[in-house]
Structure 1
């Protein structure tokens, strides 16, 4: 009888010891959510329906805070060459690809914005303008005010999106600056039609939003330690064909070393060393020079990076693909793993950046930092 009584007493004590812990854990979670004013989920280069993409979107959608979350897809929304035009054999498949990205979030009432990438412009091909216009039109056909391509119609932007009262996103089409074919829209379709007009609009929006945290959202990063920034791995030297197809592990050690070299000699407009890319960075950066509440968000290089110097650059480009990125001198975090980024504005006016990546088949929080912005 004595042993039974003691066992019962022990269970009561244990229950009261565990239960408050569970309550406290829930309280902590609630308090963390309460401290968040707005949340942005950043996913890049997710335009392929595969296990990686599905895993990223599934995990990210579980982090939606109702009434506080906005989702940004940072370009290359449809691989390999953007939205199929009407009547094409790839039309339905490409519709399915982009639907797979917005549907889980719209079911949770989170607004979803797509930023154009180079693959959305026909992989910088001659049908680029028609394809990016078709992508925007398809999203518009859903008759959903919480869904859209920004900027629309193959226009360069910038497009202003207010995220609460202290943060604004200026979305612009960086591929418009680099596109090698005709990109002219009929008169009146775009507010800005030249680089000078784009810069003038940036200046106008900067003055309007001075004092707020300003987020410049584009597909192409202004800083990166991936291949588009001129950084290559041993795999690029030994197995250069994997740049074309991830499964082409054919060793070409001598010839392979020519691949990184040729990319620096015959520069692609999609790489930062190209004069058009440099010009875009130079002109846009000049508008915001010295402003300490500025954040760049982008994809393009297929990894996760947090770069901080006089600017902050978030690269979230491993939504459906992953490739080499280096932890360069200003990179506080860099990874080739599948994942995404959450950007929370907190009640204390700090902005918290949280990186999630897939490790051993499951997603984990891999990097976290807060900045006064």
Structure 2
């Protein structure tokens, strides 16, 4: 357990994911907007929600993609050079070599590179393990980091003490998560993982008519190759059966179902993720689900839905403000060329 206890006071957490395509050379508008929110006198943390390097994580030295990947991570470091708060990275499918069987080597390589870059451990859970990693921010706030890609990854996946992991089996993971929640009863709890539990976008099986007529636009916005009728097979398959990065995929469904069951027994949880390239706030069963994957790429999201409180296709991030009096405020910020701090497009009092 990592502990950062201190007297409870106002604490801000910035949630930004899928930043792997930020500008390698020169200022990046999203990271510039993010850094403009940092205040030296304000206790805070920045959490990068996975897919920190596109397209395939951090390759070995000598690989044609290595230098570009390093420059992407250096851009993160440069944006945080004057930051005095806590920094956390979690991994996504692209960090695991886009989910290829040798992805473990890629995520470990990135973990070690970031540790050298920041002169401290910043990537969690450590060693590519599934987690859960508990960090007590202050007496009223606990952060739990989990590695959702571990559940979806083919090839080698570390587990057990021999691999430096705190859980011995998949069931042990869920038992430990439940224990952490029970031990922190009465506190604000933020759980972060790359993959969403709920989503009103593509990985959640939400498609538009154009995806049925031009199915390749799912992968590239300009791929307007008309395939009427037969083109519907791709979105239908991904909605009901799922690629391995989709909610419908059997392994993803298993993880999601178990997390939902646990969260229902511990109402009031906030779960934050990336993966979808947009911003979403979903409220269900007395808990809140934040999708903040608009750090460098964009994909469509529905603007309304049964439990969808907010959805927008704009580059930006969410900010959680935990007030000393117990109130909790959520706001969404997008880049705005006329405003250094960007534009607040959504605000909601969660508690």
Same fold (TM over 0.5): yes
Cα distance in 2 between the residues matched to 1:214 and 1:80:
32
Partner of 2:21: 48
Partner of 1:324: 300
Give how far 1:198 is off.
Answer: 1.0
Partner of 1:340: 317
Cα distance in 2 between the residues matched to 1:361 and 1:255:
45
> Do residues 94 (structure 1) and 69 (structure 2) align?
yes
Partner of 1:366: 345
Unaligned runs of 5+ in 1: 1-34
SS at match of 1:364: strand
Give how far 1:211 is off.
Answer: 1.2
Cα distance in 2 between the residues matched to 1:193 and 1:149:
21
Give how far 1:91 is off.
Answer: 1.6
Cα distance in 2 between the residues matched to 1:265 and 1:366:
32
| Matched residues, number | 337
> Do residues 172 (structure 1) and 149 (structure 2) align?
no
Where does 1:79-228 land on structure 2 (aligned, <5 Å)? 79-142=54-117, 144-145=119-120, 148-184=122-158, 187-228=162-203
Give how far 1:266 is off.
Answer: 4.2
Give how far 1:142 is off.
Answer: 2.7
- Per mean C-alpha deviation after superposition, the further-off stretch among 196-205 and 345-354 is 196-205
Q: Alpha-carbon deviations, 1:293-323, whole Å to 9, x = none?
A: 3100001111110111212001101111111
Give how far 1:189 is off.
Answer: 1.6
Indicate conservation of the 8 Å contact 1:222/1:313, yes or no.
Answer: yes
Give how far 1:359 is off.
Answer: 5.9
Partner of 1:11: none
Partner of 1:271: 246
Where does 1:250-265 land on structure 2 (aligned, <5 Å)? 250-265=225-240
Cα distance in 1 between the residues matched to 2:192 and 2:240:
29
Partner of 1:300: 275
Cα distance in 2 between the residues matched to 1:157 and 1:258:
36
Indicate conservation of the 8 Å contact 1:270/1:277, yes or no.
Answer: yes
Indicate conservation of the 8 Å contact 2:277/2:298, yes or no.
Answer: yes
Cα distance in 2 between the residues matched to 1:105 and 1:128:
27
Q: Alpha-carbon deviations, 1:151-174, whole Å to 9, x = none?
A: 122111111122222111100000
> Do residues 315 (structure 1) and 288 (structure 2) align?
no
Cα distance in 1 between the residues matched to 2:227 and 2:149:
32
